[in-house]
Amino acid sequence: MKMVEVLIIAVIYNTPDEALRFLRSIERCNFSSLKVVLVDNSDKGNDSLVQEIKKINVDINYMKSPENLGYFGGADYGLKYFLKENALPAWILVNNVDIVFDRQDFFQKLVTTQWPDNTGVVAPAIISHKWKTDTNPKIVTRYSGSKMKFYKLVCTNMLTQNAYMTLSYLKKKLSGSKNSGINNKESGGGGRKLIYAAHGSCMVFSRKYFEKGGNLQHISFLFGEEIFVAETALSLNLETVYDPELIVSDFEHASTGFFYSRKIAAYMKQSTLDIIEHYYKES
């Protein structure tokens, strides 16, 4: 079986231009022990994208999904395909193609850093191109049952979701760095901190996450991936580590747009209900 140090599973939905920007940023990193599986959930084929991919000097496997499988559904599809002929890599990244690896040493830092033995998930600094703030740590400590009940009310319909999201982004813009003043348990080295959940736009899984029984089989079609991964890691006695020295840029909302449509809002509502049912049933 072929062995690579880093596997990137990227899921796209009607965003071929963003996919090429993303792939070219990987090429600039010039990291040899790396493979990309690009899972295309788009409504139609992307023949021009396939042709452009051939010009990029990265080991890329493009695959059109049989249907729109959702974010983690697509990632799970890509991972299973990869593992048919390849060994489990040391690191597996799951991300959308809104992000860009603009620090060329990202992968070198990832594979050479001395991580704690029980590291299951790594949360890099994800710098919002729009807001110039770090969207990680996504969730520092596990939400309480009462907070999840509040989110259930927020997710009742499209209007309340968009209103809440607008207020959140305004707060982010006014407050500056989201991570300033976080009082969190140090995990040692380079400002790294233990957190509850990593932001879903770029999640870095250690091999141990999968060796101990973790998977990408999220309970919802879309949204809530962060809590699913966090709860899975906790159940496996693995930690999620935020490391601000691993940095990517995020040109967010390319696939869903800034404001949610009724369809996207329905996915958000269902995901919230799924999360409460599976992880907060006793709260």
pLDDT digits (tens, 9 = 90+) for 101-134: 999 999 999 999 999 999 999 999 999 888 788 9
Q: What is the mean pLDDT of the segment spanning 34-56?
A: 95
pLDDT of residue 15: 94
Looking at the structure, do residues 108 and 124 belong to the same domain, yes or no? no
Residue 55 has pLDDT above 90, yes or no: yes
Q: In a 10 Å sphere around its CB, with 0-12 CB exposed, 13-18 middle and 19+ buried, how is residue 66 labelled?
A: exposed
Tell me, yes or no, whether 206 lies in a domain.
Answer: no
- The CATH number that applies at residue 77 is 3.90.550.10
At 7, give phi and psi (nearest 5°).
-115, 130
Q: CB neighbours (10 Å) of residue 277?
A: 10
Residue 255 has pLDDT above 90, yes or no: no
Residue 275 has pLDDT above 80, yes or no: yes
Tell me, yes or no, whether 60 lies in a domain.
Answer: yes
CA–CA gap between residue 257 and residue 199 (Å, rounded)? 17
Tell me, yes or no, whether 78 lies in a domain.
Answer: yes
pLDDT of residue 26: 98
Give the chain's end-to-end CA distance (angstroms, integer): 46
Residue 207 has pLDDT above 70, yes or no: yes
Q: Read off the pTM.
A: 0.89
pLDDT of residue 185: 40
Looking at the structure, do residues 41 and 177 belong to the same domain, yes or no? no
CB-CB contact of 186 with 192 (8 Å): yes
34 Cβ contact partners less than 8 Å away, ≥ 6 residues apart: 4, 5, 6, 7, 8, 26, 58, 59, 107
Q: What is the mean pLDDT of the segment spanning 63-79?
A: 97
Each residue of 147-204: pLDDT tens digit? 999 989 999 889 998 888 788 767 766 765 444 333 334 344 558 999 999 999 999 9
Residue 259 has pLDDT above 80, yes or no: no
Looking at the structure, do residues 65 and 88 belong to the same domain, yes or no? yes
Q: Which domain holds residue 6?
A: 1-112
pLDDT of residue 164: 83
Looking at the structure, do residues 104 and 135 belong to the same domain, yes or no? no
Name the domain count of the chain. Answer: 2
